[in-house]
Amino acid sequence: MRKNGTLSRTPVTLAKRSTAMGMLPLCLGWLAIATPLSTHAETPTADSTRSFNIAPQPLYSALSALAEQSGVQFVYNSALVKGVSSPGVSGRYSLEGALQRLLAGSGIGYRFNSGNTVTLQRMTGLDPQSATTMQAVTVVGKTNLDPDDPYNLSYTRTNTALATKTDTPIMETPASIQVVNKAVLHDQQSYRLQDAIKNVSGVQSYHSYGGDHEQFVMRGFLQSTVNYRNGIRIPFTKFDLANVERVEVIKGASAMLFGFGDPGGLISTVTKQPSSTPYYSLEQRFGSYDFYRTEASATGPISKEAGLNYRLDMSYLDTGSFRQNMGNDRIFFAPTLSWEATTDTKFTLSYEYFDENNAYDYGIPAVGNQLARIPISRTFVGRSDLRNSTTNNLVDFRIDHRINDQVKLNAGVVSSQYQKYWQGFYTGRVNETPGNSFGNVARNYWFSPENAESLTAWVNGTFDFETYGIKHKLLLGGEYYNSQLKYQVASGNVDTINIFNPNISAVSDAQVSQIRNASYNDVIATENTSKAIYVQDQMKLWDKLHIMGGFRYDWVDRMQDLSWWAPAGKDARNDDVVSPRVGIVYQPVEWLSLFGSFTESFGPANDYDNGGRKLYDLFNATQFEGGVKTQFFDGKLNASVAYFDLERTQFFQDPNSNLINVQVPVKGSSKGVEFDIQGQIYEGLSMIGTYAYTNAKVTEDTTAPANVGNRMPFAPNHQGSAWLKYDFDGELLKGFSVGAGVYVSGRRYGDAANSYFDRSYARLDLMAAYKRKLGDMNLTTQVNVNNVNDAEYYVLRSRRTNLPAEPLTVMGSIRLEY
């Protein structure tokens, strides 16, 4: 090293020769370069990922730390870094991603060379102290973009905070976690949660409230209308994916971190965040059944010096349907501001506005042991002007603060305000007795204003320390949650129709006007409140054994006021619940994890839906889980196999008793195996594969003993999928992509009595896209054809209502990015 000259090299450490994947010759990315020095450290390639922990400090010392942790050499003019500071880097990144963070705001670019060296140089036109973004630079060799980079095509993600509330590698987490990345959402042109969830094993959609909410069946158990946004419970809503970076799914009971919830698991969207690198996109989609959707995104700095960045995502949807008199339109608007007040403190404020008008689709009833054999386009509304209107306003404020490398704090408040006006027709139970009235059914109306709101306030502290050679990541946290729901109902009979008669009579304007002015029959009000504290310790021994343990203590208050049971329908109760969780992961080699866990869950029932005069006991669920996780090709391909044993107890009022407080248990048990694989299996070839075997049965039901031993509704014994996409890179076809997917499911029953079922199905999807440069812009044209084979299947709910799946549909799009 020449101190007074122009050339400086950081200290070099050596890479050791990797033989971990000798059994798998395809894993060529594991080979590293060996040199004759006596000290050894693994040297990641530019596109491999590993953990870095470099504190904010002068840039020259930060580069030295990166050199020591990665084994690369940096070649630069010593005057280049004089007086320049680095914000540091902490977390799991590629070498290039870590380098980008160290150089953020420096105005310094880089170039990867052969021989394990990286050249640093000043980027023209940028001031070293004021620049917060990097212009394009030439990088020799392969690159691995930041996981949240809008141009990242990877199907995999190495870390997630959902399962632990700390940023933890999935390979070190004793739970089944699946992540549907932005690249998958783009390739499949997803705009609904159900479009993303089809890529996850063991999940089925459920026909919820005329299709107005998105509900799912996971590991054999029905979820509630609650979904999660950035790990925060959001009831009574559905998500637009315009501002969603990815969708994360954690399987099984998870009360230790999230409190009362669903036993089969939870689904959380992760929203896009502001970036200091400017990015803009505009996309127009169009497709079958008058489908039109516009999406726009913009992000960048407001003030580079102040660390103030913005993001804006918005969408507009206007679509018809293959179903008569159905369709919806939607406006979605989501601005976000972030302020990095210091290198250790960040504030983020986001807002979402969701406004939708959609038709209530009651679907098709069952007749006998199958769905009624009528055209899937037939509905029983008779009018096209009846629309539910929904408005949702969400505000999310978050603070992240790092005291030092060992202590990090974050806290936030999320408020959701939901307003809805239901107006629709629905049908009762079809007359299935042979004769002149066969197929007759009463048609009823339901008009109802509904208001709901929720508030979540939370605080977490993460503490990294070491005791007697054991590394600890300790999480201490607390949460307050409150949700309230109130609605009034005007309901009654309209007329009687026959489902096999194609001439479904329309309801007159005078009748609709009379219904809209009718007095409300019932008033329903419910409130759930929980206050909780939780503690979790993630321990690491010998860099191979990971042990996690924790518990949560919840104080839960519930209230209901049901007018139809007045005065007995008014009830309140308080419960204290302790939810434990333990898990273990053993990594004999870096690419292989063996895990096992025990978790519990609890939750309130949808009491008033079952007419309960008294609040029922909380249900409880327990789960044992074990499995194997693997990573190949430097983390580009992930796979997991998990076995689970899940049991849930639910209490309901005894319908045979005249006493208002007699409860009977209904138990369900679900055991099975799930397999998921996703990522890149060859240069340019990406895939997603899933398979689930779910043996879910009713194990106890004293009100309907005949149901014991029956299959749990909605969940098939077998289901699976396979999706492949190939990006061409040759001169002739460069820029083209093609993809294909198959989604299959076995027989599903629509109720616990197994009185009817939907048959097995297999569906084929195809896609093709072409991307090219237009100056500084990227232009992508794409077409997706879903259900190419026109498979007929249903999203089930009950004998009265089941929604036909979309037949063959075509969706095209044009997207500009720069």
* CATH (domain of 78): 3.55.50.30
Q: What are the C-alpha distances in Å from 712 to residues 25, 515, 780, 800? A: 44, 38, 44, 18
pLDDT tens, residue by residue, 424-463? 888 989 999 999 899 999 999 989 999 999 999 999 999 9
Contact at 8 Å (CB) between 694 and 717? yes
Does the residue 37 lie in any domain? no
Contact at 8 Å (CB) between 539 and 472? yes
716 by DSSP, 3-state: which?
A: coil
401 by DSSP, 3-state: which?
A: strand
pLDDT tens, residue by residue, 207-237? 888 778 888 999 999 888 788 999 999 988 7
Final residue of a structural domain among 73, 96, 121: 121
Does the residue 256 lie in any domain? no
pLDDT tens, residue by residue, 689-702? 999 999 999 998 87
Final residue of a structural domain among 86, 121, 156: 121
* Per-residue pLDDT at 524: 86
Domain count, the chain: 2
Structure tokens belonging to residue 359: 């038709």
Query: pTM of the full predicted structure?
Result: 0.82
Tokens 């994360």 found at = 248
Query: Listing from the earlier edge strand, what are the strands of the sheet with 232-234?
Result: 177-180, 244-251, 265-271, 227-229, 232-234
* Per-residue pLDDT at 689: 97
Does the residue 76 lie in any domain? yes
CA dihedral of residues 748, 749, 750, 752 (deg, nearest 10) = -140
CATH number for the domain that contains residue 279: 2.40.170.20
| DSSP one-letter string for 174-208 | SS-EEEE-HHHHHHTT--SHHHHHTTSTTEEEEEE
Percent of the chain with pLDDT over 70: 87
Structure tokens belonging to residue 257: 């971190």
Residue 17 has pLDDT above 70, yes or no: no
DSSP state of 788: T
Sign of CA pseudo-dihedral 76, 80, 84, 87: negative
Does the residue 107 lie in any domain? yes
Final residue of a structural domain among 71, 94, 121: 121
Does the residue 258 lie in any domain? no
* Per-residue pLDDT at 19: 33
Mean pLDDT of 247-266: 91
Mean pLDDT of 805-814: 97
Structure tokens belonging to residue 383: 């009018």
Nearest to 315, CA basis, from 348, 356, 276:
356
Q: Which domain holds residue 472?
A: 270-817
Structure tokens belonging to residue 109: 């670019």
* Per-residue pLDDT at 188: 97
Give CA 9 to chain center in angstroms.
44
- Confidence band for 606, pLDDT divided at 50, 70 and 90: low
170 by DSSP, 3-state: which?
A: helix
Does the residue 367 lie in any domain? yes
708-723 exposure pattern, b = at least 16 Cβ within 10 A, e = fewer: eebbbbbbbbebbbeb
Identify the helix (H) or strand (E) that includes residue 65: helix 59-70
DSSP state of 113: -
Which of 116-125, 157-166, 218-227 shows the lowest mean pLDDT across its residues? 116-125
C-alpha 304/C-alpha 306 separation (Å) is 6
Residue 12 has pLDDT above 60, yes or no: no
C-alpha 401/C-alpha 40 separation (Å) is 35
Does the residue 394 lie in any domain? yes
Does the residue 57 lie in any domain? yes
- Confidence band for 48, pLDDT divided at 50, 70 and 90: low
Residue 138 has pLDDT above 50, yes or no: no
Percent of the chain with pLDDT over 90: 58
Give CA 359 to chain center in angstroms.
26
Mean pLDDT of 618-634: 92
For the chain, what percentages of helix, strand and coil (3-state, to nearest 5) are there? 10, 55, 40
